[in-house]
Amino acid sequence: MKKLEDRADIEVLVNRFYDKVGRDEKIGFFFNDVAKVDWSQHLPKMYAFWETLLFGQISYKGNPMAVHFPINAEVPIEKDHFAHWLALWTETVEENFTGEMADLAIYKATNIANLMAHKMEVARR
Ligand code: HEM
Predicted local distance difference test score (pLDDT) of residue 18: 98
Indicate the length of the chain as a whole number. Answer: 125
Atom of ligand 1 nearest to the CA of 113: 27
Is residue 86 included in any domain, yes or no? yes
Give the domain extent around 58.
7-123
Is residue 1 included in any domain, yes or no? no
In percent, the amount of the chain with pLDDT more than 90 equals 98
Is residue 38 included in any domain, yes or no? yes
CATH number of the domain to which 90 belongs:
1.10.490.10
**ipTM of the predicted structure?**
0.98
User: How far is ligand 1, taken at its centre, from the CA of residue 74, in Å?
Assistant: 14
Encode pLDDT of 31-49 as tens digits: 999 999 999 999 999 999 9
**Overall number of domains in the chain:** 1
For every one of its 125 residues, what pLDDT tens digit does the chain have, with 9 covering 90 and above?
A: 999 999 999 999 999 999 999 999 999 999 999 999 999 999 999 999 999 999 998 899 999 999 999 999 999 999 999 999 999 999 999 999 999 999 999 999 999 999 999 999 999 99
Is residue 2 included in any domain, yes or no? no
What lines the ligand 1 site, CB under 6 Å?
A: 27, 30-31, 35, 37, 42, 45, 49, 62, 64, 67-68, 71, 77, 81-82, 85, 109, 112-113, 116
Is residue 77 included in any domain, yes or no? yes
Is residue 68 included in any domain, yes or no? yes
